Structure 1
Amino acid sequence: MKTYVVGGAVRDALLGLPVQDHDHVVVGATPEQMLAAGFTPVGKDFPVFLHPETHEEYALARTERKTAPGYKGFLFHADPDVTLEQDLIRRDLTINAMARDEAGTIVDPFGGQRDLQARVFRHVSPAFAEDPVRILRLARFAARFDGFTVAPETEGLMRAMVDAGEVDALVPERVWQELSRGLMERRPSRMFAVLRACGALARILPELDALWGVPQPEKHHPEVDTGVHVMMVVDTAAACGYPLPVRVAALLHDLGKGVTAPEEWPKHHGHEGRSVRLVEQVCKRLKIPNDCRDLAVMTAREHGNVGRALALRPNTIVTLLERCDAFRKPQRFAGMLQACECDHRGRLGFGERPFPQAGHLQAALDAARSVNAGDVARGLADNPSRIPEAVHAARVGAVAAALATGN
């Protein structure tokens, strides 16, 4: 029985990156031997065990065979006679198909070290085409490992998989899982570039794919192309270290521009309302969590108003705050302002420009929240129907005073 560290731990160590988790492959063992050694079984589809002390995963060396469409249609076979190379050949990319033995020797039967040096994503074998999740994983790796390119033969294989309908078999939960992880990487735009290049983006997020080639007014968008703009916006959110809901809002805020009639280009009047409907559609289809959905919907609806914030009257600002439920959920409102700032800065030449609208609206919210609604209500105890109007008026007065003095 021999054990090896495999996959991402070997790859990241060779790249000089921190290693978060260690996965192990055990060659020449049976489940009974693992149990006798104190390991705890956790695998459902194939034998995986937790080490009794480190709790790291140890999987028996295994092979797999495609039995049905999609990413779940596999039959796994684990046996003491399965070799390390047979186990590694079933993995997705050469850079993930390396192992390190207990003496520290690297086992690299498929050229993973070569591809690491060349900064290339290359599939290990034609079996890559049997699992559509691998397209999403490769795209996610592109967002993490900036500077890597996809080998031409691998990109061609991915296009063939899309054409064969393999991507259509992906369940929404798995698509969202991979997309959300990619959004949290250094350069999310690289993930979408890979998905676009092989045609997968048009199948899993057609609303986003439709933005490329759609022009915007050059005065406000020197980059012109809407798809390019949205990628700059989401990369800005990543560079700022913003949380996932803000990054999702940055990604989806302009979907309505993809359905603007060409005769209306490059202007997109009313795209906010169209964006809201499309954001809701995407979130429902991919089963995106409520916190991400709610912030994305609000950003799609309000980013134009936020951009005009310096010209809005106090009454309009308070109405905006009420519509956004900012008094009950100020943190979500702050997240929308972050997404809107990314929208502003995610344009060619705008990266370092200030965005005073965010501070302006935050100051307005702080002033409006200083109004004690309970006191206002008690003053109108004999006429409760007037309470909402009176609270609104008090907030408008507070905002007007604060903005007039710059506080």
Structure 2
Amino acid sequence: MSKDKLAKSRDILRLFEKGGFEAYIVGGTVRDLAMGSPFGDVDIATSAKPMDIASLFPEAKKVGGDPLCTFVIPQDGWTVEITPLQGEVLSEDLSRRDFTINAMALDRFGDLYDPFGGMEDLVNKVLRFTGSPRERIEEDPVRCIRLFRFASTLREFEVSHSSMNAVRESLSLFKDVPLERIGKEIYKALRGSPFTFLKLLEDTGFLASTLPCVYALRGVPQDPQFHPEGDVYEHTRLCLRYAEKITKRCDVRAAALFHDIAKPYTMKEEEERLRFIGHEKEGGTLARDIMGQWAWPSYFVKNVSSLVRWHMVPLVSTAPKRIPRLYLEYGKAWLDGLFLLSYIDISSSNRDYSKWIENRQIALSCLFKLSEDEKLISGRDVMDILKIEEGPEVGRVIFEIYEMMAKGDIRSREDAIDYLKKLNES
């Protein structure tokens, strides 16, 4: 695939040259090629004006207005994104890019243009703003947390002292930043080391403005019997650190970040003990609203908010009743994620796994019984035997049958039909 992408990209560069224009592969594409990493979309910068690009590539979709526009050419599972040079020459364009490792270019012959030492920084694993850190941040304050995101995804890289100092001095610029852009960086950080991302936010003072819902957990006390690690914030930090060690599932990592965000608003002292009754339900709603403001994908928002909503189920005695319903509503992968999240939660607190083990065994039994027989009974069966119309009652009865099947009370279609007939007679 990479060879195909490069061949297609060279063809595009050649077309620009035939038209009398300069054109280069730039940005993250060059960085990933230099690192030997897989790369996705290909970025091309050209001396051609927007009208010239449109003429050469009529199939391209124009995004944004002149002169800061992009022409997108869809390929098979990836895209080529073409932008006019920002400045009169290539070096001026590269000087405006965020980090030195993203400020390199390749021409169609494979010659590298690297006026800011990006290759040297790649070799030394250093993250550094291109040119003046202050100027790059003033151009786009989101670059502060983008720096942290790169530090989280390029795990062995360190931020240069000058870049870190510039970020610390730029907190006042990080105002009125669109939430969608903040959310985009957080979403990408989940794929790397979200713990590193969180720690950098904390160390530089950006936590309150980037993740206020997590900042609010600082100083919220917990019962030391169940949480010897400390307050809710410390517990969340440990959860995030543990989550990135044991799973690459971004939905579980995000749920680990959010799972206790409602504790500050549900805290009560009862019988000389701190309690957070309903924090999981409130937290699910809060997480859903926050992720919605960040414009995260709807399927991901649903997965994460429901994981937060039900994260206590693997630890309670009512789990045997809940598990079949949750499996039928969300599926096996989600239920596995729920137990993974709960395992992370316990591992970051008092490490009492007894109830988790008991309920995990129930879940495994439920998954085994339901996996082969999901079509044991249909809505039509329920409506015909009970003589009822389509509606919520049909779904309620089907859930009831599958719960009984998970517990072993119903073992076959014949048992299910007999149960429906008894319901009809009662």
Q: Normalising by the residue count of structure 2, what TM-score does the alignment of the two structures yield?
A: 0.70
Task: State yes or no: 1:175 paired with 2:182.
Answer: yes
Q: Map 1:2-401; keep pairs closer than 5 Å.
A: 2-27=22-47, 29-31=48-50, 34=53, 37-38=56-57, 42-45=62-65, 46-49=68-71, 56-63=80-87, 82-124=88-130, 125=132, 126-129=134-137, 130-164=139-173, 166=174, 168-183=175-190, 185-214=191-220, 216=222, 220-221=226-227, 223-224=229-230, 226-234=232-240, 236-238=242-244, 242-259=248-265, 267-270=274-277, 271-308=279-316, 311-312=317-318, 317-319=320-322, 321-322=324-325, 324=326, 326-331=327-332, 332-345=334-347, 357-364=359-366, 367=369, 372=377, 397-401=404-408
Q: Secondary structure at the match of 1:23?
A: strand
Output one character per residue of 1:5-37: Cα deviation in whole Å (capped at 9) or x when no partner.
Answer: 22112222332322333322224x444554565
Amino acid aligned to 2:80: E
Task: Spell out, residue by residue over 1:318-369, the C-alpha distance to the aligned partner (whole angstroms, 9 max, x if none).
Answer: 25644x4x42432444443343334344569899xx9563342242365477
Q: Deviations over 1:233-288 (max 9, x none)?
A: 34555555554433332321111234565989995432334424532442444344
Note if contact 1:246-1:335 (Cα within 8 Å) is conserved in structure 2: yes
Identity percentage of aligned residues = 27
* Pairwise CA distance, 1:156: 3.3
Counterpart residue type for residue 85 of structure 2: A
Question: Which of 1 and 2 has higher RCO (CA within 8 Å, sep 6+)?
Answer: 1
Which runs of 5 or more structure 2 residues have no equivalent in the other structure? 1-20, 410-426
Contact kept, 8 Å, 2:267 with 2:276, in 1: the verdict is no
What SS class does the counterpart of residue 194 from structure 1 fall into? Answer: helix
For the Cα contact (< 8 Å) 1:159–1:199, is it kept in 2?
Answer: yes
Residues of 1 paired with 2:75 and 2:302: CA distance? 42
Decide whether aligned partners of structure 1 residues 277 and 59 sit closer, same or farther in structure 2, where only a CA change above 3 A counts: closer
* Contact 2:129/2:136 (8 A) holds in 1: yes
CA RMSD of aligned residues (A): 4.2
Partners of 2:350 and 2:101 in 1: how far apart? 34
- Cα contact 2:43–2:82 (8 A) shared by 1: yes
CA separation of 1:141 and 1:52: change in aligned 2, threshold 3 A: closer
Shift of 1:145: 0.4
CA contact (8 A) 2:226 2:350 kept: no
In structure 1, C-alpha distance between the alignment counterparts of 2:71 and 2:407, rounded to whole Å: 64
How many residues align? The count is 371
Tell me if the contact between 1:187 and 1:238 (Cα under 8 Å) persists in the aligned partners.
yes
Residue equivalent to 1:75: none
Conservation of the 8 A alpha-carbon contact between 1:215 and 1:266: no
Give the corresponding residue for 2:16: none
Normalised to the residue count of structure 1, the TM-score between the two structures is 0.73
After superposing the two structures, state which structure 1 stretch, 145-154 or 228-237, moved more.
228-237
Unaligned ranges ≥5, structure 1: 64-81, 403-407
Indicate the SS of the match to 1:117. helix
Q: Write the distance in 1 (CA, Å) between the matches of 2:294 and 2:255.
A: 15
SS of residue paired to 2:312: helix
**How many Å apart are 1:86 and its aligned residue?**
0.9
Contact in 2 for aligned 1:39/1:52 (Cα 8 Å): no
